[in-house]
Amino acid sequence: MTGGRYFDDLTVGDSFETDGITLTEAAIIDFALTHDPQPFHIDKVAASGSMFGGLIASGFQTIALTFRLFRDTGVLTGTNLGGHGMDEVRWRAPVFPGDTLHARITVEALTPSRSKPDRGTVRFRYRTFNQKDVEVLSLTMDHVMARRTEGDPS
């Protein structure tokens, strides 16, 4: 499956808005049971005494969900070859059951590969917001993305 943007299609400053998604209490507890079973993610009673005042989503879930929202825009389809890593990941505000999240992803840097002419590294800035437009997460992620080569559809 293709249809995504190639490295060469992107310009620093390009920005993409994702759809929204509502994070249910069930989704928060299910994720945390496997990946992050701390009381403030799985136990409503204990969570009410935490510094958040109630159950909140695991920060790892917020990251994964944000990536999923971006993936669903189609920008990466067939052209994202993998990831190098992330920097400056900040959980800026708690995510509560019933919150509806959306994200804005901006191209921050474009670095062609020196050794491999068929790819380059794209640094994307991810910012995730809740239904009150409070920023709950921000991070940068370096993606390896395919370059246009002769014969690719333009």
Among 10, 16, 74, 89, binds a second copy (CB under 8 A): 89
- Cβ closest to a second copy, residue 61 vs residue 130: 61
- Cβ closest to a second copy, residue 11 vs residue 115: 115
The number of C-alpha atoms within 13 Å of 24 and in the hemisphere containing its C-beta is: 3
Q: Find out whether 145 and 7 touch, Cβ atoms under 8 Å.
A: yes
Whose structure tokens read 């917001």?
A: 129
The number of C-alpha atoms within 13 Å of 105 and in the hemisphere containing its C-beta is: 24
Site string for a second copy, 107-146 (x = CB under 8 A): --------------------------------x----x--
Among 10, 86, 93, 110, binds a second copy (CB under 8 A): 86
Q: How many residues bind a second copy (CB under 8 A)?
A: 36
Spacing of C-alpha 152 from chain mean position: 27
Q: Does 83 bind a second copy (CB under 8 A)?
A: yes
Stretch that binds a second copy, among 12-20, 82-90, 101-109, 127-135 (CB under 8 A): 82-90
- Look at residues 138, 134, 139 and name the one whose alpha carbon lies nearest to residue 95: 134
Spacing of C-alpha 49 from chain mean position: 29
Q: Does 90 bind a second copy (CB under 8 A)?
A: yes
Give residues with Cβ within 8 angstroms of 82, minimum separation 6. 143, 144
**Residue ranges in contact with a second copy by CB under 8 A:** 1, 34-40, 50-52, 58-60, 63-65, 67-68, 71, 76, 78, 80-91, 139, 144
